[in-house]
């Protein structure tokens, strides 16, 4: 009885092994490096596997001729036809090379202008600045109704006004203060004054007024008390036309 069971088991094992084979191989990239997690599928069947860390794979298939499809993210898919497998045989496919899936993109140019006319932009400038600074934005000028730069400058901490048109910083005199327009030093109308007359600039032409109260590498070196910079609005790309109407009554 025991011998009969062994004989039956041996026959079953022989039948199971009959008509089976193995496809074994490795997948590499164009530079010869192994590709991990590449998908290897026998087309027309549900048989498939993925490559290991060394790019190797093993497929148990029926004997006959098969077609393999190999895919990997970032690489062009590859089809290998006429892969023949014999009974109880191993077909080794060495170094299956996948080419990168290159894609040509058109040039994309992104342009943006920094917003420097509101309080949020002014706070961001203070955080990034290497010097102690304060200022007032265009939005704040419009909110309080200041008509000229000298009126707006009165609201900047550490700035004082003299003769209704000159700015002093930190209480120091005219000789210690420098005024610039868009970062450029310009001469004042009064030859006896070092600072610029601020009452000649209307606020509707100004983005912000910044007062620097100490030295910094990017600032000029010819001031001691402080430096005030007036940044004007950019030249508009389109025509702008504004009309305002007012009415008053005085009993």
- Residue 226 shares a structural domain with residue 132: yes
Residue 70 pLDDT > 90: yes
Q: Does residue 16 lie within any of the structural domains?
A: no
Domain containing residue 198: 119-232
What does DSSP say about strands 90-97 and 20-28: parallel, antiparallel, or unpaired? parallel
In a domain, residue 131? The reply is yes
Say how far apart CA 70 and CA 51 lie, in whole Å: 10
Indicate if 127 and 93 belong to the same structural domain: no
Looking at the fold, whether 198 and 228 belong to one and the same domain comes out as yes
7 vs 48 pLDDT, higher one:
48
Q: Which of 72-81, 95-104, 172-181 ranks highest by mean pLDDT?
A: 72-81
**Do the domain assignments include residue 44?**
yes
Same domain? 53 vs 148? no
Q: Which of 69, 75, 67 is nearest to 35 (CA)?
A: 75
Q: What per-residue confidence (pLDDT) applies to 3?
A: 54
Query: Is the pLDDT assigned to residue 236 strictly greater than 70?
Result: no
Q: Residue 195: which of 210, 180, 208 has the closest Cα?
A: 180
Q: Are residues 43 and 86 in the same domain?
A: yes
Which of the pair, 24 or 103, is modelled with greater confidence?
24
Same-domain check for residues 50 and 154: no
Give me the CATH number covering residue 70.
Answer: 2.60.40.1120
Answer whether residue 214 is part of any domain.
yes
Q: Is residue 142 a part of any domain in this protein?
A: yes
What's the per-residue H, E or C state across the chain?
CHHHHHHHHHHHHHHHHCCEEEEEEEEECCCCCECCCCEEEECCCCCEEECCCCCEEEEEEECEEEEEEEECCCECCEEEEEEEECCCCEEEEEEEECCECCCCCCCCCCCCCCCCCCHHHHHHHHHHCCCCEEEEEHHHHHHHCCCEHHHHHCCCCCEEEECCCEEEECCCCHHHEEEEECCEECCCCCCCCCCCCHHHCEHHHEEEEEEECCCCCCCCCCCCCEEEEEEECCCCCCCCCCCCCCCCCCC
Q: Tell me the β-bridge partners of 62.
A: 20
Summarize pLDDT for 135-165 with one digit per residue, the tens. Answer: 888 888 888 888 888 888 888 888 888 888 8
pLDDT grade for 214, boundaries at 50, 70 and 90: confident
Residues 226 and 123 in one domain: yes
Number of domains in the chain: 2
Note whether residue 160 is domain-resident.
Answer: yes
Q: Is 207 found in the same domain as 139?
A: yes
User: Are 72 and 142 within one domain?
Assistant: no
Task: Inform me whether the pLDDT recorded for 68 exceeds 70.
Answer: yes
Which residues sit opposite 226 in a β-bridge?
177
Identify the pLDDT of residue 237.
Answer: 67
| pLDDT interval class at 14 (50, 70, 90) | very low
**Residue 15 within any structural domain of the chain:** no
Look at the pTM and tell me if it is higher than 0.85.
no
In the predicted structure, residue 8 carries a pLDDT above the cut 70: no
Domain boundary among 66, 97, 128: 97
CATH number for the domain including 189?
Answer: 2.170.130.10
**Same-domain pairing of 131 and 211:** yes
User: Which among 21, 7, 32, 29 has a CA at the least distance from the CA of 59?
Assistant: 21
What is the structure's pLDDT at 27?
Answer: 95
Asked whether residue 75 falls in the same domain as residue 130, the answer is: no
User: Do residue 61 and residue 125 come from a single domain?
Assistant: no
Residue 152 lies in a domain: yes
């Amino acid at each position: 009885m025991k011998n009969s069971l062994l004989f039956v088991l041996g026959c079953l094992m022989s039948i199971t092994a009959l008509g089976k084979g193995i496809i074994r191989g490795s997948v590499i990239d164009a530079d010869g490096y192994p590709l991990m997690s590449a998908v290897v599928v026998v087309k027309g069947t549900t048989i498939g596997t993925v490559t290991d860390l060394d790019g190797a794979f093993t497929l148990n298939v029926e004997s006959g001729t098969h077609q393999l499809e190999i895919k990997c993210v970032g690489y062009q898919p590859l089809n290998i036809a006429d892969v023949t497998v014999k009974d109880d045989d191993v077909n080794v496919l060495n170094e299956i090379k996948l080419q990168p899936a290159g894609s040509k993109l058109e040039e994309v140019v992104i342009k943006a202008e920094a917003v420097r006319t509101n309080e949020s932009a002014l706070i961001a400038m203070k955080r990034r600045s290497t010097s102690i600074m304060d200022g007032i934005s265009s939005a704040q000028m419009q909110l309080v109704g200041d008509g000229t730069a000298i009126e707006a400058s009165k609201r900047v901490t550490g700035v004082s006004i003299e003769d209704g048109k000159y700015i002093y910083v930190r209480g120091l005199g005219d000789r210690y203060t420098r005024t610039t327009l868009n970062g450029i030093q310009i001469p004042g109308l009064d030859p006896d004054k070092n600072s610029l007359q601020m009452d000649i600039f209307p606020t509707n032409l100004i983005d912000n007024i910044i007062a620097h109260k100490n030295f910094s590498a990017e600032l000029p070196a010819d001031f001691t008390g402080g430096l005030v910079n007036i940044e004007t609005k950019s030249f508009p790309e389109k025509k702008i036309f504004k009309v305002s109407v007012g009415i008053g009554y005085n009993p």
